[in-house]
Structure 1
Amino acid sequence: MTNPSAAPVSTKFLNVLVIGANGYLGTAICSAFLRTNAPPTSFRVHGLIRRESAAHQLAMNEVIPIIGSLSEPDMVRTAVLSHSPVWDIIVTCTEPSRATEAAHWSDLLAFIQDLASESASHGVRPFVLWSSGCKDYGTTGLHGEKSLTPHSEDSPLQSHPIIRGRMDAALRVLEVAGAEGSDFTAAVVRATPVFGYSGSYYGAAFDYAAAFAGVFGKDDIRSRTLDFTSDEGTIMHGVHVDDCGEGYVALATAALPDDDRRRRIAGKVFNISGRRYETLREVGVALAQEYGFGHGARFGLAQDELPEAVSGHNCGLVFGWSQWVSSERIRNLTHWCDKRSLFSENIGVYRLAYEAAIEAGLDDVEKVRRRMAGNWGDDHKAAE
């Protein structure tokens, strides 16, 4: 019998730095890199975070925590370079407060340029994946409209005012990375809304249905409908956060082997979206069934027709943002595909996960709840 240990093969580790590693998306990206192992190459994942309290959870998941703030450039530079002067991949997935975002995006780009310069001096130009979002394109029409077409990476940008700074920063990083003599290459990733686990903005859908159900007793709810103000044809195009994380890894692994392959990806924008969109009707009916509404769901109601108990649930960004997004570019170039169940297909499991996240007191849940209540203020610190 052959002893597999008789001819060991040394593993080559590629260093990955995820900035915002303890956030909802950052956690999924770290996990996706760690799941990817193509011997003799493997990823060693580092997570840059602001709070020391988040380090324990990262370490438990085999992510090397690095504590530092972008607002203290010398200290964070020293902390990161103490782990390695060479970085193969850098991923950004931070969310600054509105009050600090201008300084944040500037600090983030300067930090990446600094790390890239050091890494390039050791012979490695990092590949940067810079996170933005598909809300940069604005909305599309409703399901069934004759003029309906999906947003692609070439669609005009019509960003929501709340995240305009993020969009501008993404364009700036492509400009800097593409300049002659740049020490790094970059691609921008625009994902649709993500769901799963602690829910992200889809958690507001569960909160809304739960609040609506709470108006009625167990017997009464069987003769009731779950009501929405938005049109039933509103397009809800999401992707599971695990699939989204795999998309980042697909881009990174496709770009790394050689300069020719990197040129196909660097300097470009890539959308990440589910294999098909869902409609509010699909999601609304699934929510109604999950929460026990015996007469299904109704759509297009006036705000004053809803119970007072749900009046504080501002779910326009979830139920009222109609958008169909094409992700053919990443699918064609990397063969990435989403595998997890759509939101309406597995809503009971996603509800269980969300309620477990509430019970565990996860920060992600409270952050989204504050934003749904209209509070986008300084309490939303960057997930550095």
Structure 2
Amino acid sequence: MARSVLVTGANGYIGNAVARAFVRAGWITYGLIRSPASASALAGEEIIPVVGAIDDPSSHEIILANLPVPLDAIVSTTEVTFNYLPHYTNLVTLVRTLAQPTVSSGAPKPLLLFTSGCKDYGVGPHIHGAPDLVPHTEESPRNPPPPLAGRAENAARIFDHEDLLAPVLLRPTNVYGRSSSFYAGFFQVASQVAAAGTENSGLIVPADPNYVLHALHVDDCADAYVALAEHPRRDEVAGQVFNVSAHRYETVDQVVRALVQEYGIKGGLKYVRPDEIKPEHNPWPPFLIDFPQWTGSDKLRRVTGWRDRRTLFSEALHVYRLAYEAATANDLTAKMQDRVASVFKGFKAN
């Protein structure tokens, strides 16, 4: 009998990739969305749409009525970055509501794959070539930037709900590919500089060229969720934290040099100190090139055998640029990019 999974935020960037990964793995996959307008797109991907709102508790029973019993797994991919706790509280209420009939039926507790992020660890002393360079691991202390403090504090509390669920906490790095999410900032900045088209319009980079950038393709990230859900030893994954990251990191210099080449930027590349550029003249989104961080995923690889397969961002930048430009022609993707832009503004405001 096929296993069943509900993915929240199934029309979002990570959520949709995760839902598609479960479909490919043979799971009956339900996707929670707020608007019926997204239902046909999900159905076309063989994801069963379920319309309801996490932040409207009155709709939780309606969501429950559209799901099977037992429900094998729930994947949470949504958050409200700058007002984290109210959405988190409503999400906990929902997943407990969804888990209760499964537990009452005598079936195993649903596996809850809960998404946080590696920025919970904060900036590392992660500079390529430094003699003391080591990655963040799942045992590293959390030291998030202030805008993410609510997430870092509350996401770990998901383990308080082991009476009805088998929680697993995932901390992915930045992700790229397709519409590119936050990594769209690289394309946006480079395209603006290239459009100027003069010898004096080089790519200005107010960051150390050796800062570590660690990201992975969104499809590799999605496959990690499936690897955890399908692991035959539930006791090896439930109650655990897993980082999700590519097999190696890149550097700021590797990425921006690839951008200069890809976009034919005539003025080349120029590094400056952050204090040499006025904030209003800095085109880079916060936390994109100025958040050095190396996050190890050895635990995930050791326990599940998962590995990333997609080419690193700087090594196939042309491929990812084409995908980004194709995706942004889609109205739904444009709306997603507007949401990303609002998050960037929120980081600046905080």
TM-score above 0.5, yes or no: yes
**Aligned pairs for 1:32-111 within 5 A:** 32-36=21-25, 42-96=26-80, 98-99=82-83, 101-111=84-94
Q: Distance in 2 between matches of 1:136 and 1:375?
A: 14
Equivalent pair of 1:232/1:281 in contact (CA under 8 Å)? yes
Q: Distance in 2 between matches of 1:24 and 1:315?
A: 18
For the structure 1 residues 375 and 167, does the alpha-carbon distance in structure 2 shift closer, same or farther, using more than 3 Å as the test?
closer
- RMSD across aligned C-alpha pairs, in angstroms? 2.0
Deviation for aligned residue 1:284: 0.8
Identify the residue that residue 174 of structure 2 maps to in structure 1: 193
- Deviation digits for residues 264-304 of structure 1 (CA, Å, limit 9, x no counterpart): 11111000000100000100100010110256423234565
Deviation for aligned residue 1:207: 0.6
Identify the residue that residue 224 of structure 2 maps to in structure 1: 247
Equivalent pair of 2:81/2:147 in contact (CA under 8 Å)? no
Q: Distance in 2 between matches of 1:265 and 1:302?
A: 42
Gaps (5+ residues) in structure 2?
Answer: none
- Using the size of structure 2 for normalisation, the TM-score is 0.93
Deviation for aligned residue 1:348: 0.7
**1:341 maps to 2:324:** no
Report the structure number with the largest CA radius of gyration: 1
Gaps (5+ residues) in structure 1?
Answer: 1-11, 37-41, 378-384
Equivalent pair of 2:113/2:225 in contact (CA under 8 Å)? yes
Query: Identity of aligned pairs, percent?
Result: 36
Identify the residue that residue 275 of structure 1 maps to in structure 2: 247
Identify the residue that residue 165 of structure 1 maps to in structure 2: 150
Q: Distance in 1 between matches of 2:265 and 2:56?
A: 52
- Deviation digits for residues 17-60 of structure 1 (CA, Å, limit 9, x no counterpart): 00111110001101111111xxxxx3100011111111121111
Equivalent pair of 2:64/2:97 in contact (CA under 8 Å)? no
Could you tell me which amino acid in structure 1 is paired with residue 206 of structure 2?
Answer: T
Name the SS for the 1:107 alignment partner. helix
**1:204 maps to 2:181:** no
- Using the size of structure 1 for normalisation, the TM-score is 0.85
Name the SS for the 1:48 alignment partner. strand
For the structure 1 residues 145 and 85, does the alpha-carbon distance in structure 2 shift closer, same or farther, using more than 3 Å as the test?
same
For the structure 1 residues 104 and 302, does the alpha-carbon distance in structure 2 shift closer, same or farther, using more than 3 Å as the test?
closer
Name the SS for the 2:288 alignment partner. helix
Equivalent pair of 2:54/2:91 in contact (CA under 8 Å)? yes
Equivalent pair of 2:42/2:48 in contact (CA under 8 Å)? yes
User: Which moves more between the two structures, 138-147 or 234-243?
Assistant: 138-147
For the structure 1 residues 80 and 114, does the alpha-carbon distance in structure 2 shift closer, same or farther, using more than 3 Å as the test?
closer
- Deviation digits for residues 346-367 of structure 1 (CA, Å, limit 9, x no counterpart): 0011111111222223122221
Which structure has more relative contact order (CA 8 Å, sep 6+)? It is 1
Matched residues, number: 345
Q: Distance in 2 between matches of 1:302 and 1:324?
A: 21
Deviation for aligned residue 1:149: 1.1
